[in-house]
Structure 1
């Protein structure tokens, strides 16, 4: 029988660098007794236990840690031979430092190591590293995946990697049923307008004759699921095809707050503040209308632009595609699991700022660089796929974030700013006045 746990103490795994720092300086560290350790190793190595005499090859140790993490977790004990003789390690503190370095620098995603140093009456010391695989799949810095079967590790096959990716894929918020929602809350005119675009390719004609909304949502689009014995639209289903008034009632956090400031900072007087509600189609159109009320959206930079000495700031102009993409990006990729934070559109005299709830942990810094080159980091793949499909009915720009950055720079002569901070993703576009 696998022996994965040998402590009664429960530890909280830090989720951010700040929480890790607070944990390290304030949380009590449970110690493993000799009797606990000997109970752990008495049966020898298995899927969740590895015994090593010493730490001599950091690369091999990293592979062992990856294999244990991909198995769901386990323990590596340094200073004990395969015959379960206590040999001890020469420098326990150096072994601990090396293990921390391996877990944080040689494994992707990084592991938070739990390490205990045990002393015996003979003066020998051993080191136990507990591995917890909560963010599978793990790989080494050189991109190799390892798995563990019994007491042996091996490099993962393509089939193993596929299984790990399937297991590691988090449950998406967009697939959760909306509490209180019913099939009657779906805007059938919008739904069937979308479905008719696929009538000849994806479905047979008889399927569309009776307009079986519930069946199509559940089986064809995967936008409905069972909830308390009844079929209910998922979050994605309501946001994409829900009746606007019901979306506002059932998903209030899905609103967009649009504000026009009389100045260049958020401390300037407010000219107008609106809370936009509805499904994604309605939100996109409403947001664009609000922006057009105070800005000019053009396809090319005005050639007759002349600087004015007037004390009154004129209407700023922005690239139409860049603004449209910023709004669409915010609606599709926002993290609806973040509470008490709405998508915001702030219009200043010389800039537009679109801020979106997005958990910073796991998104910075590499993902922020990758999205500039068009590498997607999608929280809501169902929403993104349907919203960007022409059958949904919106005339969206093509090219994604790379297009936004390029067109915004060519239009205004200034680079668009992108920031991910404090669980928020922000895009700032400079206008031409």
Structure 2
């Protein structure tokens, strides 16, 4: 890092990715800052700069060794930062660069989990901690229990049809105790606090009214006459219900909102859809199956513009998944329950094939390459309209 770059950082002040600390910082506090950055998006700690951005400098020649010991002994799992020192205005500043953690969640030696929020660190809330564990792959939210539910919140007829089709037995021929045992083994029910309650996935796939207990379920659709969210609103719908029903209803809504441009092929006029429905189906199912359902109050958003459709799913990518990996078919089942049941019901062809197929189909149509990106707590897939 150059002197000019360091000066610019100091001038702009602290933010979600930058923290200033003086040399006298205690090992415990430094570990908390490092853990917070590791559990978030990574960041930089400048040691030798006070909170107001005044350069105080450092004098300890063994500070690098101290920092590395803190990362090794006070941060669990161990964090491996990069360390460099630079002279600015005649004073030495230490630059500690903390990468985004690949082994979340991280915690301090006194078993506290910190996250970075704006310019400060704080202890992760129960919901935030749940997301960290889910991101690490050590917890799958879709098989967690939903308090206050019971078998009465499930549509047993739909469950019976499922087992008749895929497990070749009739659920109605079983006793009540046997039905409960089957549903427990299938992760549709779960023992919780001495009761048998529905799992998140059980409600999403087989529930009578999933959004009663999971208000984040469903999709918010909006169609704009233009390319900006401030343009005229043509259509708006909220679609809720079981995720397979949401998928089917959203397909119809998107199809009804698409133009059908025509081209002349020889002596015949042929109508073409704005977007291939196979691509729309894959984008819809991917959004429903892979979103982070532990983020409450946020539905999937599908925004349709004149030049593109955006599928905005709550939740960032899990630890080991990157956008480049997704493009070549590497995937991770954030919600293995949903993946399994939607795959059995033929909504999913094969895990990991969706994004490569979307890229291939849109390339064949001569459209701009679909954009995959993370923004805040959303993962966004943007599919651009082909030019006919």
- TM-score calculated relative to the size of structure 2: 0.65
| CA shift for structure 1 position 272 | 1.4
Which deviates the most, 247-256 or 333-342? 333-342
| CA shift for structure 1 position 170 | 2.4
The CA RMSD measured in Å over matched residues stands at: 4.7
The separation in 1 between residues aligned to 2:111 and 2:158, in whole angstroms, is 46
Match of 2:59 in 1: none
Matched, 1:367 2:332: no
Match of 1:427 in 2: 381
Gaps of 5+ in 2: 1-26, 52-63, 87-92, 115-132
Matched, 1:236 2:201: yes
Deviations 1:329-348 (A, max 9, x none): 00000011223322011122
Q: Is the 8 A contact 1:104 1:111 kept in 2?
A: no
Q: Is the 8 A contact 2:225 2:233 kept in 1?
A: yes
Gaps of 5+ in 1: 1-5, 28-53, 56-60, 76-91, 115-129, 136-164, 307-313
Match of 1:339 in 2: 296
Matched, 1:181 2:149: yes
Match of 2:173 in 1: 209
Residue of structure 1 aligned with 2:256, choices 265, 288, 293: 293
Q: Is the 8 A contact 1:100 1:113 kept in 2?
A: no
Aligned pairs for 1:236-315 within 5 A: 236-243=201-208, 246-295=209-258, 304=264
Please give the secondary structure, in 1, of the residue aligned with 2:220: strand
| CA shift for structure 1 position 190 | 1.6
The separation in 1 between residues aligned to 2:254 and 2:29, in whole angstroms, is 57
Deviations 1:141-171 (A, max 9, x none): xxxxxxxxxxxxxxxxxxxxxxxx9xx7422
Q: Is the 8 A contact 1:321 1:397 kept in 2?
A: no
Q: Is the 8 A contact 2:371 2:382 kept in 1?
A: yes
Aligned pairs for 1:401-416 within 5 A: 401-416=355-370
The separation in 2 between residues aligned to 1:224 and 1:111, in whole angstroms, is 27
Please give the secondary structure, in 2, of the residue aligned with 1:253: coil
Please give the secondary structure, in 1, of the residue aligned with 2:275: strand
Deviations 1:31-88 (A, max 9, x none): xxxxxxxxxxxxxxxxxxxxxxx97xxxxx99xx88x799x5699xxxxxxxxxxxxx
Q: Is the 8 A contact 1:73 1:132 kept in 2?
A: no
User: Relative to 1, partners in 2 of residues 1:233 and 1:415: Cα closer, same or farther, differing over 3 Å?
Assistant: same
Please give the secondary structure, in 1, of the residue aligned with 2:264: coil
From the CA coordinates, give the structure whose radius of gyration is larger.
1
User: Relative to 1, partners in 2 of residues 1:184 and 1:319: Cα closer, same or farther, differing over 3 Å?
Assistant: same
Aligned pairs for 1:375-390 within 5 A: 375-389=330-344
The separation in 2 between residues aligned to 1:217 and 1:187, in whole angstroms, is 12
Please give the secondary structure, in 2, of the residue aligned with 1:356: strand
Match of 1:348 in 2: 305
The separation in 2 between residues aligned to 1:266 and 1:132, in whole angstroms, is 44
Match of 1:37 in 2: none
User: Relative to 1, partners in 2 of residues 1:353 and 1:304: Cα closer, same or farther, differing over 3 Å?
Assistant: farther
Q: Is the 8 A contact 2:104 2:319 kept in 1?
A: no
Q: Is the 8 A contact 2:292 2:314 kept in 1?
A: yes
